[in-house]
Structures are given as C-alpha cells and as structure tokens.
Structure 1
Amino acid sequence: MCNKIVLDENKSFTFDFSKCEYILEFHDLANKLKLNDVDFITELNDEIIFIEYKNSNIEGAVKPDAMYSKIKVNPSKFYSNISKKYYDSLFMLWSQNGNENDKKISYVLLIEDKLIDEKMRKQLKLKIGKQLPLRIKEEVKRELLSNFEVYNLREWKDKFNDIEIKKV
C-alpha cells in the first residue's frame, strides 16, 4: 500500500490515496507527448480508477461560473475533452505496462459546481458516456472501460470513502 497524499491542481484540496495500491499522475508524460490526461489513476479493491477532478467551488475563484458556462456554450467540446482525457490516459497507462492483469477500469468525473445539479450530472454521464468505450467487448481482447460515473463531492464520499478528499 502507498501512503500518498496529493494536492489538486488548484492546491485547494488533498486526496488521500494511502489505502490504494498506487497513485499515478501522467502530467509530465502527457505534456511531452502532447496528450491530455486525467488528474489521477489509482487502484483500489482490484479496480483501476481514473479520476478527472473539476471544482469551481473554491474560495476566491476568479471565474466561478466559467466551467458551467463552458459546458453550456460548447457542450460537445467539453464532452470530447473529458473523453479524450480517458483515451490518452489509458494509452499512457498501457505504455507504462499498467493493468497487466486486466482489472476492471472505472472512470469518474468528479465535478463540484454550485450550478451543476444532479440532473445535469446525469446528462453529463449520458453525453460523455456515449464517447467512451463502455459497450465494446467483442472486437477487442480486453475490456477498455467497465464503468463511467459523474459525481459531486458528497456522492464521491458515499462511493469511495477509502479515498478521502479534504479542503486545505
């Protein structure tokens, strides 16, 4: 087990992955390869979890409505960007010999915004999910993605209480 606590990119929240097998961040590799990456990849209870974290509910946010506006003004670009982060991160994970035992992979968009309610999270799950390889099984030798979810912080705590998120 690792004992790793990491900060989000805004340095506003810590993610405690100490109960996980490992924590991966591909930011440097993604920059070198001109790819997009999810914020964190970890393994918990024989499941690999890709985590993309978006939070506009941070104190002193310069543009607190920017994420909501981005989704409303150009939703297809937002959906595409979030799905591309999964594909690029999967490529980088496999390039590092990750998931050699073909464990199930879940992708979680953890999104916290005062304007994004449960109905909108369900819509995000549906629209982004259509761009992800959730139902592709016969044409490939391994399952590419088992599950995709969109949660807020409260829902995250209910589902993943072993990965604690705390405000700095």
Structure 2
Amino acid sequence: MSKVFVEENKVYQLDCSEALWATDAVHEVYRANKLGLKDVDFIIEQDEDIILVEYKNGKISQALVHGSNFNPNNEKIINNIPEKYFDTLHYLNVLGKNKPKHYIWVLEYPHGSSVMRKMLRNKIMKQLPFQLQTSLAAKNKLIESFEVLSIAEWNEKYKQYPMSEVKEKLQ
C-alpha cells in the first residue's frame, strides 16, 4: 500500500514512505460508519510519537478560481481545527495508538506569514487541552504540541515526510 497521500484538490502530496504507519483515510472510515465526526487530513506514526496533520492551501488555483476568500482568522475555522484534533483521537484510541501526539496545521494562504501563523497557533492552542493537562498534572497527555507551519516550514522540520506538488496529473 502506498504511503504517498494526495490532498483532496490533487495538487499537493505528502510522502509518508518513511513512517512506521500512516493514513489519510479517517474521513472515509467515519463516513462509512455514519459518524458525524471531523478528522485531520493525515496521520503519521513514528517510533516514538504520532503526528496529526491538517492541511489547507488557499493559494492553489482551485481555491483562487472559486473566488475563495479563505480567512484562517475566521472564528468558524479557528474552532474547526481543535474539533478535528479531538474527533480524530477516537480513531487513534480504537486502534490502540496511544503514543505522544503532535498536531500540525500546514497552512498556505495569500499574505500568510510566520507572524500570522504564530498568532493563529496561539489562538487555537487555547482550545486544545494544554491547560487541562497542566491543571490536572496529567500523567497521560492528550497532546504534546501544536504548530501552524507553511509547506516550506513543514519540509524543513519534517524532511523525512516531504510535501510537494503532485508531478503527474491524477484522474
């Protein structure tokens, strides 16, 4: 089974060939089981931890053609990102995958910058269970870290899982 996953617009791919285990099929599993849960786009299991990846690209031609006014600061989007993380935990729990979890939102959008991504990260982190873990002195953490990265930042930090434009046209 291929571990090279193509995002829904078929413009970018994520090569998870070096992963211990990886999937992009959570959405299909939830839909097949008639669950109204949200999910992240990709899950990558490594020896010591799991990376959950949400991907959004407001710069690709499909987004621009549809006149997308994608605004990652929109309250609905900001609320949606934590929901996807929490709902995906059910999938991992059922599979018995209980390694430390890192959540990454790979985000590209017109006029995006590292400063804007850090501001988004700070807003969204307030809705993830970091404070809960601290207040309970949790032995078992639900999340280790959260980052908002550009594709270039992702490729720099996670060289073993390169994200690149799809080379061949997919049907």
Q: What's the TM-score once normalised by structure 1's chain length?
A: 0.87
- Report if the CA contact (8 A) 2:154-2:163 is conserved: no
Alignment equivalent of 2:148, drawn from 147, 150, 163: 150
Taking a change above 3 Å as real, the CA distance of residues 89 and 60 of structure 1, as seen in their structure-2 partners, is: closer
The C-alpha deviation readout for 1:75-98, integer Å capped at 9, x for no partner, is 322111000000000122102222
The C-alpha deviation readout for 1:55-104, integer Å capped at 9, x for no partner, is 12213432354222xx34xx3221110000000001221022222xxx22
| Seq. identity, % | 35
Residue in 1 aligned with 2:169? Answer: none
Residues of 1 paired with 2:93 and 2:79: CA distance? 21
Residues of 2 paired with 1:152 and 1:65: CA distance? 19
Residues of 2 paired with 1:29 and 1:121: CA distance? 30
Residue in 2 aligned with 1:37? Answer: 39
Residues of 2 paired with 1:46 and 1:153: CA distance? 23
DSSP-derived class of the 1:35 partner: coil
Please list every run of 5 or more consecutive structure 2 residues that lacks an aligned counterpart in the other structure.
167-171
Q: CA RMSD in A?
A: 1.8
Q: What's the TM-score once normalised by structure 2's chain length?
A: 0.85
Residue in 2 aligned with 1:84? Answer: 83
Residue correspondence of structure 1 range 42-61 to structure 2 within 5 A: 42-61=44-63
* Stretch of structure 1 that moved more, 119-128 or 136-145: 136-145
Please list every run of at least 4 consecutive aligned residues from structure 1 whose deviation after the TM superposition is greater than 6 angstroms.
Answer: none
Please list every run of 5 or more consecutive structure 1 residues that lacks an aligned counterpart in the other structure.
none
Q: Residue 29 of structure 1 aligns to which amino acid in structure 2?
A: V
Aligned length: 160
Residues of 2 paired with 1:141 and 1:64: CA distance? 47
The C-alpha deviation readout for 1:32-71, integer Å capped at 9, x for no partner, is 2110000011112412000000012213432354222xx3
